[in-house]
Amino acid sequence: MTKSSNLTQDNRSSLDFTEESTPPQIRGVIFDMDGVITDTIEYHYQTWQQLADEEGIPFNREANEALRGLSRRDSLLKILGSRSCSEAKIQEMLDRKNRYYLEFIQNMNSDRLLPGVEKLLNELRAANIKTGIASASQNVHRVVERLGIGDRIDVITNVYNVNRPKPAPDVFVYAAEELGLLPKECLVFEDAESGVEAALAARMWVVGLGPGDRVGQAHIVLPNLQGVHWSDLLLAIQSLQG
Ligand code: G6P
Ligand code: MG
């Protein structure tokens, strides 16, 4: 583990292996996408800012931080606050925001992968670990294709495949099912508070990426994936398993 001082052990008890003589192996890794695999958080910020400016609604980077992990619709509702809007107007704004976003991502390529992601994906392939993406984004397939990592991802899911968005566990449970794995055999990388909550509720191992006040509930907290190796992570998880 590159940042062993950042390991958090508060949630050790959240996974209960008492019925087993040995802890289960981790056989799959499930990534959130925005803010974990790619820095599209900036594109989301720019496009929400444009929409908010056009509508005369106050918005800034700080407000955008609170949108991490939320679906597009939940994000808009949060931005609107107590302002009342017809369903038709809401739909129009959602479509407009996505039009701006699609312009941003149309030319994106593997340069937009966050540091460490490609190496880690290659290590997971070499170690025979299954890989999935569980995102709140409806654009997840499009973005993965642009990033050129589809050959190293076994399953791509988003919250539209399930009933409840993050922080409900549904999208992670569904991804594990698609991978043919038990939740406790999966490790999740998340950058959003709601995503960490969702993965813990799914009873998976969770690595939070970002500041402790955002992802501190995760089993392990790291600033990002730069320099993170699968062998180190496994050792860190084993030490948490006791
Ligand atoms: C992710 C991001 C959010 C974004 C959401 C919906 O969860 O963290 O900031 O609003 O996906 O993305 P979409 O591509 O469907 O608009
Ligand atoms: Mg995210």
Tokens of 237: 């998880």
DSSP one-letter string for 197-229? HHHHHTT-EEEEES-HHHHTTSSEEES-STT--
Band the pLDDT of 120: cuts 50, 70, 90: very high
* Arithmetic mean of pLDDT, 6-20: 41
In tens, the pLDDT along 19-41 reads 444 455 899 999 999 999 999 99
Distance 71 CA to ligand 1 centre (A): 5
Distance 4 CA to ligand 1 centre (A): 30
Structure confidence at residue 24 (pLDDT): 59
Structure confidence at residue 238 (pLDDT): 87
pTM of the model: 0.90
pLDDT tops 70 at residue 10:
no
Structure confidence at residue 17 (pLDDT): 42
Q: Write the residue with the smallest CA distance to atom 16 of ligand 1.
A: 72
Structure confidence at residue 193 (pLDDT): 96
Q: Write the residue with the smallest CA distance to atom 6 of ligand 1.
A: 137
Nearest CA among 115, 191, 125 for reference residue 154: 125
Q: 7 pairs with which residues across the strands?
A: 220
Which whole-number Å values give the CA distances from 50 to 43, 98, 104, 149, in the listed order? 11, 11, 12, 30
Band the pLDDT of 241: cuts 50, 70, 90: confident
Residues annotated as catalytic are 32, 34
Distance 19 CA to ligand 2 centre (A): 33
Q: Tell me the residue length of the chain.
A: 242
Which residue out of 31, 103, 104, 137 has the highest number of ligand 1 atoms within 8 Å of its CB and is therefore the one to mutate?
Answer: 137
> Which atom of ligand 1 lies closest to the CA of 139?
14
In the structure, which protein residues have their CB atom closer than 6 angstroms to any atom of ligand 1?
A: 34-35, 44, 67-72, 75, 98, 101, 136-139, 192
Q: Write the residue with the smallest CA distance to atom 7 of ligand 1.
A: 69
Which residue out of 47, 72, 97, 158 has the highest number of ligand 1 atoms within 8 Å of its CB and is therefore the one to mutate?
Answer: 72
Q: Write the residue with the smallest CA distance to atom 12 of ligand 1.
A: 137
Band the pLDDT of 230: cuts 50, 70, 90: very high
Query: In which order are the strands placed within the sheet that holds 186-190?
Result: 155-158, 130-135, 28-31, 186-190, 205-209, 220-222
pLDDT tops 80 at residue 2:
no
In tens, the pLDDT along 77-110 reads 999 999 999 999 999 999 999 999 999 999 999 9
Which residue out of 68, 71, 145 has the highest number of ligand 1 atoms within 8 Å of its CB and is therefore the one to mutate?
Answer: 71
Band the pLDDT of 159: cuts 50, 70, 90: confident
* Arithmetic mean of pLDDT, 161-177: 94
